[in-house]
Structure 1
Amino acid sequence: MTLRHVTLLAAVLLFSKVQSQSNSKDVLFTIDDEPVYASEFIRVYNKNLDLVQDESQKNIDEYLTLFTNYKLKLKEAESLGLQNKTSYKRELDSYKKQLAQNFVTDTTITESLVKEAYDRILNEVKVSHILVRLPENASPQDTLVAYNNIMKLRDRAIKEGFDKVRKEVHNGQTIFGEDLGYFSAFRMVYPFESAAYNAKVGEISMPFRTRFGYHILKVYEKRKSRGEVTVAHIMVANKQGDSISNAAETRINDIYKKLQQGEDFEALAKQFSEDPSSANKGGMLSPFSAGQLSSQVFEEAAFGLKNIGDISKPVQSKFGWHIIKLYDKKPVQPFLDMKPELEMKVKRDDRSHLIDDALFDKLKLKYHITDKQPVLDYFESILNDDYFKRTWKLPNNFEKKQPLVTIGEKQLTFQDFGDYLVDSQRTGQAKSSFKDLISKLYHDFLFQNLMQYQEDHLEFENKDFANIVNEYRDGLLLFDLMDSTIWNASKTDTTEIENYYKAHKDAYVWPDRIDAVVASSTDQDVLKSVAKLLQKGTDLDTIKAKFNTNGKVQVIFTMSVMDAQNQALPPHFKFKKGISKIYKHNDSYVIVQVKDIFPSTLKSFDEAKGAIISDYQTYKENKWIDDLRHKYNVSINQQVLDKVRSELNNKN
């Protein structure tokens, strides 16, 4: 599913349609005499009661306001004709086609493949292979040659050793001999994965074919998967223009030395980590498994920690430098937790061919299509070698009106299959017998038409499918309307945004800030000496050189323009120029040298632009809703509303 699909589904989440016991004939309100039923409102409210975070939205009257606003927006979208846009129709058709897969797929085979994938994820296999390249559409003669070659290589590998033969025969063009290392499910094409997991350790497999050609493989080891780890980290980001005393690598090494001196990891993370999402939690990260993070270096370092409490040496990723501490290790997630993700992967993988085969059989049964193919001799008779050159055409005397096969209420004719044959011509297609070619193409043609017929009628055959399509249809209209009316304001309403800023300047201010140096140490006496040197104007590099000697780090400096909430400052720190007293902070001691104080000031337009645009969009949307309420007549049925309140209050 695309990001756009996710956005649209989120947009309609509060207004999805599910079944309810309410009277479907009770009209809760009308918009220009168009009814909105109480049953729909009750369904929506009950479904989303536990999802809304704003307590005001749980109030029935407040929720009714949200729901009415939603319906007003849809009314406006339809009045503007957004449902007639080509892009809207194309997007909706694409979604319906994608969604239909979930309703027509054979669930039995899918569930079997999902369980198999999970069983394989529990283990990793270490494999090498030899491949004799062969095109998917290779001729029978070339296929036989390739098979004989791979069999000869297998005989050699048994006698001489797999690795020896693999290295000798690899040429990177027609034959590949590769050490693939460890892998798990979904890392290789499905036939290869199956061969690897079905093979015994130490044995050389029989030849098997994938879309790349013929393989043999050897499994060297099978081991349990690494599962999931929970770690914390201290991060120092790489920054341009750092001074020597504040360079990322120097800084992370200083922090690492303090850890070696016995200082607390969590306290150091709170003081010095530059990952804002984890620093105040002592560097703690959410649990993750292999491949889940965007940094392989970080993952390998994390999984490389063996014992709870182990701390890594500094490691560098694309984000900066890290010190990592291991808190927990867990095996692969339970099957039910992983099932939704596995289902998606199975449907995108080579395994989908097995699902397609099962679906083909299911649809043939549903629409009473027998396994007996219609007489295809006629199509074999009109084919010639021009087909393989992409120049073949239907003959002038083509019997286009002859019936071919009936799907439901749809009659397919010779013309339909003939057009399919013309369109299926491909340059460079390997020659095969016309009988085999026609048989394969008819299979594909029939499957395609069965799928299309099912999709075209699914909205009438399946209520759940129809409801979801309706949700998406409304969400798509709402997305386009909001995008053009509100969300695009930063590009089209430049003058209005600037005027909004001028009228609301007091809402955009910088807090009081200081230009400061914060010195941190676990030794209070060290900080007393540091304070005296700072008072004399001694530069930081000299101070560091004095106290951080013989591989021991006694003081770390943080330099920045800070507000009162900065993690380096002690709580309730009073802004005053000069050298502060010593504070106990984050299980350490700190002093603060305040070089300058910047009183609270208004932010310029550029400094506050992001917040201004967001606030302006909210302001514009509220005004727009007021305009819609004047444009369309909303009439609430108070008697039905009282009944709805009573029903909902009794349930909740």
Structure 2
Amino acid sequence: MALPVRLCVFFSALLIVLGCAGGPSTTSPEQSTSSSPPIVASLGDTTITLSEFESAYRSSNGGSTPADDSLSSYQDFLEQYVNYRLSLRAARSAGFDTLSSLQQEIRSYRDKMARPRLMRSEVYKPLTRSLYRRQKTKVDVSHILARVSPDAPPEDTLQAYQRMQSIADSLARGVPFGDLAYRNSDDPSAQQKGQRGFRGRLGYIGAGQIVKPFEDRMYNVPPDSTSDVFRTRFGYHILKVHDRRASKPPIRISHLMVRPGADSMEARQKLDSLRTEIVSRGASFDSLARQHSEDRRSAPKGGDLGTVTSRESLPPSFQRAVATLDSVGAVSPIVRSQYGYHLIKLTNREEPKSYQASYKELKQQIADRPRVDRRKNAFSDSIRTQVGVTVDTTRILGTARISSVDTLSRPLLSLTQDDASSDTSVPVATLGDSTYTLKQLARHVMQADGGARMSVGTVLEDFLNEKAFQYAQAQLQETDSSFAATMKEYREGLLVFQFMQDSVWTVAAQDTAALRQFYQERRDQYRFPDRVRTLVLRAPSDSLFAPYGLSASPSLSSLVRRATADSLVRLDTAMVTDTSLEVYQKALSMDDGSITGPIQHDGQALLLARDTLLPARTKTFEEALSSVIRDYQSHYKGHVHARLRRRYDVQTYPKRLRNAFSETAPSRMSSTN
């Protein structure tokens, strides 16, 4: 069975046994000592305690603690849980846990689940927590850039670094940062007066708006201080932090604009009059904006300008006006901008979100950025340091006939093929107790995005980082108790499923003699109700039924002949009962031979043609077979569980469950039945 199908079964493995509580229970006292948890069932040499029962019951309810479930519900579940534990024990006794196919399936599931979990805990959560914390503050920053591409030759890189170091020396001697940025920065905006970035001044920037090395520096450098020389993918930088301030929450604003004509005083007087109507007389800002605003884009929307996440994107006069609006609904005094005169209304101010509520949005901000790769590589490097790594660079270069690790890795691609002239199966690297061959490294080059264009050293680093991450995946059960519990649940569910498949479902479905006997003993349970045999014609459009001459009430035989020859019409037969879809139940009140439609249903046009009423009758064995198999499997499952209960001498103490989920310690320790 394919993995996706099995997943639906494994995590509901407990439900496999829920259909048959079965088996005897007892109220004979098996006393618990006052120092041990109460026992609610025993299975030979093992026991089920009240706390274990509570954990299983809670898990079956989606992890929640029941508020008002009854004692009978607990007792039913105890019988079901005992059946589950018996099936698990029988599966292990039969050696199902040693099957290579099941072990491989468990490993596949572990790898499938471990990687996203590890990415979430070791990569995304640290990055998003840092981003969430930093987004509460914005930094006023300037920078100087010496542009150099990531793949620049060493001499160009060195020249750019030396130039930036010279600028850093000038800063140390007191030369103004803005003067140096204007004369030396490779950021074009540094020389463009009136533009953001003029003389290096970028203004207030928040987390997530710029590459991470730059972000890290600007949040760590104190105000009125400059950074060291550092590199991003754009080149070398020096930055200066001028100020920090708390980030303002996103707001939504509307405006009403009047353009000044020859007489600007007239425009101001008009806005002043409109503001009086709004503030003093309660007139609707939206309505007046639709009538009087000369901003053609926002006027039809009542002046709405949408949500403003960064107030720095607003014109300076708008920024100053918005800062004075202390409550939702407040309207500003008249504001002047390069476009005209405005009234501004604050229509909404968002409340800060919690980290949990912001997580999805924060993750989207970083998902496709280099900071994710940096964090993942840093985590992989910590694993490599922890478990130890060795690399035989000489063997790699010699076998591939490559001169140095700075050479492109393309020659390694030839080693992915079996070649008797070169030994690619000998180890060239180790990580912990794992060894890796040159062929594995060569395959990594082939599979990595742009691997052949990377140097041997870069590919080797990428390969070892990936193997370290895979190592952490394999060890996650040892370091993450929650993941260990998930894997235990999956593993046990898989074993129970395999036991039920081999010992119950398959056996029951293939025992034809037992199935026939089961049917004969219960044949009155397998009956067809009254049914109306109905022809159903389906077409993409009701116009396709126009040539069928429905107004002349054609016979059913002619209708069938016509539909059979029509490639655009599908013909089905439906046995309609009072439990059929409502659209088919129209046939129940029709006369034999009558036709109704077209009826629109689920994007199609239907014709219903009633044939005849088929009276209720007992199903034959062949007609009832699927239902018989299902019922007999459930019946046979009860026998299997009863047999297991006898084998393992099962005893249950259902009355002790009255203390389930009790918050009173003494009652939890009760030894009475």
> With CA pairs under 8 Å and 6+ residues apart, which has the higher RCO, 1 or 2?
2
TM-score by length of 2: 0.44
TM-score by length of 1: 0.45
